[in-house]
Structure 1
Amino acid sequence: MRSNILAFALGVGLLQLQEALPAWPLLTVWPLVALPLLWPACRRSRWGRVLALLASALFGFSWAALLAAQRLHDRLPAAWEGRDIQVVGVVAALPHGFERGERFAFDVESVETRAAVVPRRIMLSWYHGWLEDEWRDGLQIRPGERWRFTVRLKRPHGNANPLAFDYEAWLFERGLRATGYVRPQAAVERLDDFVVQPAYAIERLRDRLRRSFAAVLGDAAYSGILIALAVGDQQAIPGEQWRLFRQTGVTHLMSISGLHVTMVAALFGALVGCLWRRSERLLLAVPAQKAAIAGGWLAAFAYALLAGFAVPAQRTVYMLTVVALALWSGRHLGASRSLLLALLLVLLLDPWAVLAPGFWLSFAAVALLFFVGTARLGSGRGWRATLAAWGATQWAVTIGTLPLLLLLFQQFSLVSPLANAIAIPLVSFIITPLALLFVVLPWPPLLLVAHALLDFLMSGLDWLAAWPMWEQPAPPLAATLLAVVGVIWLLLPRGFPARWLGLCLLLPAVFWPAARPAHGEAWVEVLDVGQGLAVVVRTAGHSLLYDTGPLFSAESDAGQRIIVPHLRAQGVRRLDTLIVTHRDKDHSGGVVAVEEALPIGRRLSSVPELQPEPCIDGQSWEWDGVRFAILHPVAADYQRQAARSNNMSCVLQVSSAHGSVLLTADIEARDEQALLARGAGRLRSDVLLVPHHGSGTSSTPPFIAAVGAREAIIPVGYRNRFQHPRADVVDRHAASRLWRTDRDGAVRVSLVAAGLSVSAYRNEYRRYWHGQ
């Protein structure tokens, strides 16, 4: 059974790597072929067992494909993107506030615009902005309300960069098949205060509890953490606190995770068992042990619902369900069977769970706890044995999840064992129970005590966060699998010979070197940051960042969300030069996050407030056989007031023996004419970053002809409000092969000895849900 479940999981995972789904006839035939091979009589011979494993994998592949095809069928037609559509539906989940608005899932009940087709569940943003007074006076939304909106939608789309978060996969897993916003000028109407459905009732309860927490705590520094621990609203935690949690390795504790659900089940089960034993009649009806199992499971299920039934909580409930059924029936399935049955249940209900890092980390952590716990059975009693078991558990989880953390996040906290040793008992056994007790018994001192304990904990974490984190490039899959073997070897029971060999197997993943171009070569990566610009240039021993992407909100920018994680994944620990071309927020929005995360050797910019060295035509330098030259602006431009900040954009040319790239930021027609007047010959380049995102104010024919690029890259956001790139500008670049970050994702230019080449991330990493 165990090998068949693993084969089924392998088939499910294989489906998620496909660029396109198999045809419908194959999806219906394959399960019919696979099912007979799973019959017990077919597994008696060696070849029969092999066929059964192949059938299990085929069944998992087909099952995941059938569910995926069903979800893909519910889509927004391309013809209805960006058009006004009037819909009636229900606010399906807890709204999350952001600067000047709210975002929420919306279940569409009917479409009132003739011929329009809209998916059943969508994600909407409502920007109230200047409607502050009206918003407070009655336009606030609550879960379970029925509304009539006029909306504009687009298909799910996210930034596509190597080793980055796949937003489209996140939306697809949650069944959110379109995103959009409520039209601000159109009339909105609340049709019903509450639509009676169990799911909406739970969301309304979560909303009421969130409001009650906010009423007691007000603007307290850590109120968002308590709200997240009670009702699963992680959006309530500020970004600065998330950064602190990542640096100390306690992120898993600050949301409703498997640990918290298990803790609630254990505490409530123990309470039910204790009270049950006090009644002879109840004991005769149902044994106390079974009552405790049922009570613990019900408590876990209720807590998961209160948390919004998020994916980590779902996985824990499924796992507890398997264990509870086994214990209730009196059958001992064993740790491995229980874990694998939970895995089977998760993948049957949610085959896209394998796309989430939390899926791998949670199952790995539980498997490690089972592995270490089994090895230490009968190791003794008393406080010394308890302390030793606790230390072994901390060691196992820390070292055991290391390969996954390096593969998925390229970092881990060196102080994580110490931080978790303090935080786990405090958060799991005191702070979280106090927050949940307030849910049942709304007595304000409970929250005040919990907040005081959080204040104490955060002070300790703030001190631990000063310690450095281990950061490195993402190791390849082979090194990660070797490290997993090393972890298992290292955690074998004491007395097993040569356990130290496990550390040797870990070394390739932990010390995997960063890939760099050879001397005289350069890699130029135009990142997909939406409507903005960020370009990373790497040579054999140096790194340069050209612009820092857009500012998304008061707490989010491209620097922290895209650029810094990308640099960390590529092994860039220092920027030799940072160029911020001009003042516009779509180019300078992430500068603070970049400066806080990395040491920077030299700063060039046309923005005086950044206190840089001004970029001036004539500046040049050479790194590792690659030449860099600033071509614009000239020194005189700083003495007169430019009509637009775009006219001060720093233009950089990167050239080597293998080709050249011209980076133009947001220069406009007058700047192109000035560049031509100062010397058209020096503009000649093989690759051109199209000026100003393909705006009609740039890309004049003489400038394009002078550059003569055979490759042209347009950094542009998907369906942006500026309607970039303009169709006539695209036509002007007809002589070049055209790349667009909204369509192709991150674009990489390789100036290497084998010849100049250009590749796009979406072409190399295409999945069946992309663009759907």
Structure 2
Amino acid sequence: MMNICLVFAFGILCAQLGADLPSPAARGAAVVLIPGGGLLAWLASRRSGGWWRSLQVILVSLAALAAGWSFAAWRAEVRLAEVLAAEWEGRDVVVTGVVASLPQDFERGLRFVFAVEQSAAPLPSTISIAWYRGFRDEELHALPEIHAGERWRLSVRLKRPHGNVNPHGFDYEGWLLEQGIRATGYVRPAEGNTRLDAFVPGVMTAVERTREKIRERFRQALPDAPYAGVLIALAVGDQRAIAPDLWRVFARTGISHLVAISGMHVTMFAALFAAGVGWSWRRIPALALRWPAQQAGVVAGFVAAFGYCLLAGWGVPAQRTLYMLGCVALALVLRRETAPGRVLALALAVVLLIDPWAVMAAGFWLSFGAVALLFLVSTGRLASEGRLREALRTQWAVTLGLIPALLVLFQQFSLVSPLANAIAIPLVSFVVTPLAVAFAILPLQMLADLAHSAFVLTMLPVHWLATLPWANWQQAAPPPGLAVLASVGCVWALLPRGTPARWVGLTMLVPLVLWAPARPGEGEATVTVLDVGQGLAVHVQTAAHDLIYDTGPAFSADANSGERILLPYLRAAGVRRLDTLVVTHQDNDHAGGAEAVLSGIPVAEVRTSLPLNHPVRLIAGMRDQPCVAGQHWEWDRVRFTMLHPEAPASGAVPRKTNDMACVLRVEAGGQRLLLTSDIEAVSEAGLLAREGANLASDVLVAPHHGSRTSSTPAFIAATSPRWVIFPVGYRNRFRHPNPDVWARWSASGSRLLRTDAGGAVIVHLGAGEPRLETARALAPRYWYGR
């Protein structure tokens, strides 16, 4: 059974990593293979001998693999069939439906999942919409109160699922597919936006309304408490109120899993409930004689765990624990013995039957991996070893065994994790969480205060550990092959004493932690135009140097592309410091992530055309210098030249922001790439006057995202690039690139790429012609564009 479940899961993983869904012929062959393989395996089992046994294992494995692969493909087809037609994108549609999730506050409004019941157009059944307090430059206004479980009639404007696609970046489109959200959009201002019912009866609407009430209870009880968001996360699974700075502390110390609704919390909650019911059951003779107290207690614990998982948001770690508890409860009721490995494998199969996209989530791998490691080091051990020694061994096993997964998923792991977890696990699991759940059930202010005080006490040593310069290890994202090799080594090293040469397993970690990605050679450069939506961020890498040209937009006061896109990308690429940061001008879509970049990675120098009092220049301090035409430098036989703006005359009035943007040329191996930021026709004319035919380039990033105020015919003729890259957001409100500008570039013979269609564009400059790749083409997924 265990092997079948594992092979079934592998089949699902193969389907989810595919660039396309299997053809009908392939699916038909898989469907035939499942019963056919099972029948042949049964026939093989009727024969004796090792050869027949091996054949049986092979046939059963092939059938399980085909079952997982075809099942995931079938579920994907069903979900992808529910799609917003392209002709309904960007059009106002009146819909009636139910608020199906906790409404989430953000800087300019609310965001929530909406279950569509009726609409004036064929829409998916589940959409994600935002309701803004004001559009663009409008003055912010109050929104009506919106609660989970309410029925509304709304005028909405939708688009198909779309997300930024960058190397090693978060796959937003895949996440939307897993959540069953097949369109996103926002509420349009309209008089017809009306609440129809204050509450729609239903199990899940009742659950979401309860979660919202508990969240509001915490907010009112702890309005200014720094860790109120943590208590909300522990009680109802809503982690959005936790500040980004606090998440960084959790990551550096390796205790992020404690803030999520982890298996430990679910198990603890179920155990306490089971113990209480069992104790009470034994003291009522009529009940004890009718049904054994142990069985009654374990069933009650499972029911309590199920309720807690629903209340906590139904995450993968909680599901995994619930299904394992269900297997144990069923075995006790049926009076069967259960091997830990079989229980875990069965829980794995149930999770994937319910959610075949779970294999794409980081929590899936960390959750099942951690429990498998605990089973590995606890099975067959002597009980006389002592609790302290057992706790140290299990902590060592989880810390060591999860290193490969953490490096693949997050490119870092905490070196202080064992100590931080030794402090935090007892307090969070046995003090903070029970108090938080108790307050969710019984609204006594004392319980909220005690829970928060206990977490404050927990964080005192944790914050100190996070400040240590060596608190965590960071490196580039390793290739999967090295991660698999290191995982095998970790398992080998954790085998029981007496296993020969366990130390060899640790040596298999060395290639993983010492791995570094290849960099361009001398005289070569790799230029990555990142997909940051409607904005610009470019990474230029030479043999030994790194430059960032613009940092993309700020999405809100707490979220920007520097924090969410640039820093994770640089960490995954193995970049530990920047030699130069160029912030071309002060528009939000170019400078919005600059402060996060300066705070998150060492930067040697900053070149800008920002005003002197701009926060970026104040943070840069002595590293700051203005962009001025004529500046040039050389790294590793790659030449950089600043072409714009000119040094302002004394007393001159500053020009329009876009016309002050820094323009940079990169030359490598005889090839030229021109980064033009947001210059417009006036600046293009100035460049033509100063540079003339010297503007000719092989690759060019289109001025001002392809705006109609840029890319004049004269500029196009002078630059005459082979490739033009348009950094634009999907269905952006400026409608960039302008159709006339696109047509002009196309008529010039240039090949055109856009980041909203292909994701990040990677340009390789060196000997020969430039070579361009897109992130969506390098790692295709069947859900892209669907």
TM-score normalised by L of structure 2: 0.95
Using the TM superposition, give the Cα deviation of residue 505 of structure 1 relative to its aligned residue in structure 2, in angstroms: 0.3
> AA paired with 1:11?
G
Q: What SS does the aligned partner of 1:236 have? A: coil
Tell me, in whole angstroms, the C-alpha distance in 2 between the residues paired with 1:639 and 1:747.
41
Aligned residues: 762
* Equivalent in the alignment of 1:224: 229
Corresponding residue for 2:444?
443
The equivalent residue for 1:654 is: 666
- Does the alignment pair 1:542 with 2:549? no
Aligned-partner Cα distance in 2 for 1:128–1:146: 20
* Alignment counterpart, residue 622 of structure 1, candidates 623, 634, 637: 634
Q: How does 1:597-636 map to 2 (within 5 A)?
A: 597-607=600-610, 608=612, 609=614, 610-611=616-617, 612-636=624-648
Matched, 1:328 2:328: no
AA aligned opposite 1:491: L
Residues 726 and 755 in structure 2, CA contact (< 8 A), matched pair in contact too: yes
Give the superposition deviation at 1:313: 2.0
CA contact (8 A) 2:33 2:66 kept: no
Letter in 2 for 1:391: L
Shift of 1:638: 8.0
User: What pairs with 1:331-730 in structure 2 (closer than 5 Å)?
Assistant: 331-380=336-385, 385-467=386-468, 468=470, 469-607=472-610, 608=612, 609=614, 610-611=616-617, 612-636=624-648, 639-730=651-742
Q: What is the rounded CA distance, in whole Å, between the counterparts of 1:733 and 1:641 in structure 2?
A: 33
Residue in structure 1 matched with residue 23 of structure 2 by the alignment: 23
CA distance in structure 2 between the partners assigned to 1:70 and 1:524 by the alignment: 39
Residue number among 183, 198, 208 corresponding to 1:193 in the alignment: 198
User: CA shift at 1:262, angstroms?
Assistant: 1.6
Cα shift at 1:658: 4.1
Report 1:757-768 matches (<5 A). Answer: 757-768=771-782
DSSP 3-state at the match of 2:780: coil
Report Cα offsets for 1:174-210 as digits up to 9, x if no partner.
1001000000245310001111111101111111111
Greater shift in the superposed pair: 269-278 or 743-752: 269-278
- Give the equivalent residue in structure 2 for 1:732: 744
Q: Secondary structure at the match of 1:547?
A: strand
Q: Larger deviation: 181-190 or 512-521? A: 181-190
Q: What is the CA–CA distance in structure 2 between the aligned matches of 1:334 and 1:377, rounded to whole Å?
A: 17
Contact 2:638–2:668 (8 Å) recurs in 1: yes
Specify the SS of the correspondent of 1:38. helix
The reply on whether 1:752 has 2:766 as its aligned counterpart is yes
Which digits, 9 at most, give the CA deviation of each residue in 1:247-289, with x for residues without a partner? 1111111121222112211221222222222222222111121
Tell me the CA shift for residue 25 of structure 1: 5.4
Q: CA deviation at 1:43?
A: 4.5
Instruction: Quote the Cα distance in structure 2 between the aligned partners of 1:697 and 1:480.
Output: 49
- In structure 2, list runs of 5 or more residues that go unmatched: 46-51, 618-623
Match of 2:104 among 96, 100, 106: 96
Change (3 A) 1:133 1:581: closer
Match for residue 126 of structure 2? 121
Q: Per-residue deviation at 1:131? A: 8.5
Query: CA 1:705–1:30 in 2, change beyond 3 Å: closer, same or farther?
Result: same
Counterpart residue type for residue 562 of structure 1: I
Q: Please name the residue that 1:58 is paired with.
A: 66
1:548 touches 1:558 (CA, 8 Å); kept in 2? yes
The match for 2:78 is 70
Q: Does 1:164 align with 2:169?
A: yes
CA contact (8 A) 2:549 2:582 kept: yes
What is residue 621 of structure 2 aligned with on the other side? none
How far did 1:49 drift?
2.6
* Partners of 1:605 and 1:615 within 8 A in 2: yes
What secondary structure sits across from 1:125 in the alignment?
A: strand
Any idea what the Cα deviations from partners look like across 1:647-703, whole Å, max 9, x if unmatched? Answer: 110000000124111000000000000000002122111000000011001011111
Deviates more, 1:635-644 or 1:457-466: 635-644
Q: CA deviation at 1:329?
A: 1.6
Deviation at 1:322, TM superposition (A): 2.1
1:600-650 per-residue CA deviation (whole Å, 9 max, x = no partner) reads 111100012233200100100000010000000011268533342111100
**Counterpart check, 1:277 vs 2:282:** yes
TM superposition score normalised by structure 1: 0.97
For residues 132 and 231 of structure 1, do their structure 2 counterparts lie closer, same or farther at Cα, with a shift above 3 Å needed? farther
| AA aligned opposite 1:225 | V
Aligned in 2, Cα 1:216/1:769: closer, same or farther, shift over 3 Å? same
Q: Distance in 2 between matches of 1:132 and 1:454?
A: 36
Distance 1:29 1:496, change over 3 A: closer
Aligned to 1:2: 2
**Residues 676/132 of structure 1: CA separation in 2 closer, same or farther (3 Å cut):** closer
Residue 10 of structure 2 aligns to which amino acid in structure 1? Answer: L
Question: Separation in 2 of the partners of 1:311 and 1:182?
Answer: 31
1:268 is matched with which residue? 273
- How high is the sequence identity, in percent, across the aligned residues? 53
One-letter amino acid matched to 1:605: T
The answer as to whether partners of 1:651 and 1:664 remain within 8 angstroms in 2 is yes
CA offset at residue 417 of structure 1? 1.1
Cα distance, 1:59 vs. partner? Answer: 1.1
Q: Which residue of 2 aligns with 1:248?
A: 253
Equivalent pair of 1:582/1:588 in contact (CA under 8 Å): yes
User: Among residues 88, 107, 120, which one is paired with 1:80 in the alignment?
Assistant: 88
Q: Contact between 1:375 and 1:492, CA under 8 Å: does it hold in 2?
A: no
Q: Secondary structure at the match of 1:670?
A: helix
Q: For residue 429 of structure 2, give the secondary structure of its aligned residue in structure 1.
A: helix
Q: Is the 8 A contact 1:151 1:181 kept in 2?
A: yes
CA contact (8 A) 1:693 1:715 kept: yes
Distance 1:500 1:434, change over 3 A: same
Post-superposition CA distance 1:701-743 (Å, at most 9, x none)? 1111111100100000000011001101111111111110000
Q: Distance in 1 between matches of 2:699 and 2:191?
A: 44
Which deviates more from structure 2 when the two are superposed, residues 429-438 or residues 314-323?
A: 314-323
Moved more, 666-675 or 589-598: 589-598
**CA 1:59–1:227 in structure 2 vs 1: closer, same or farther (change >3 Å)?**
same
Residues 32-66 of structure 1, C-alpha deviations (whole Å, 9 max, x = no match): 33123224514422323312211111111111111
Q: Secondary structure at the match of 2:240?
A: helix
Contact 1:42 1:49 in 2 (8 A): no
CA-atom RMSD in angstroms? 1.5
> Hey, what's the Cα distance between the residues in 2 that align with 1:754 and 1:387?
63
Q: Within 1, Cα distance between the matches of 2:82 and 2:650?
A: 55
Alignment check: 8 A CA contact 1:547 1:579 kept: yes
The answer to whether the 8 A contact 2:529-2:727 is kept is yes
Q: Is the 8 A contact 2:629 2:645 kept in 1?
A: yes
Q: Which moved more, 1:122-131 or 1:348-357?
A: 122-131
Residue among 112, 116, 124 paired with 1:108: 116
Question: Given residue 12 of structure 1, which amino acid in structure 2 is its aligned partner?
Answer: I
Query: Closer, same or farther in 2 for the Cα pair 1:133/1:615, shift >3 Å?
Result: closer
SS in 2 for 1:635: coil
In structure 2, how many angstroms separate the alpha carbons of the residues matched to 1:458 and 1:638?
54
Distance 1:771 1:514, change over 3 A: same
Question: How far did residue 128 of structure 1 move?
Answer: 1.9
Rounded to whole Å, the distance in 2 between the matches of 1:126 and 1:537 is 38
Work out the CA distance in 1 between the residues paired with 2:710 and 2:325.
61
Instruction: Work out the CA distance in 1 between the residues paired with 2:316 and 2:100.
Output: 17
Distance in 1, Cα, partners of 2:267 & 2:434: 12
Letter in 1 for 2:6: L
With 321-330 and 165-174 compared, the bigger mean Cα shift is at 321-330
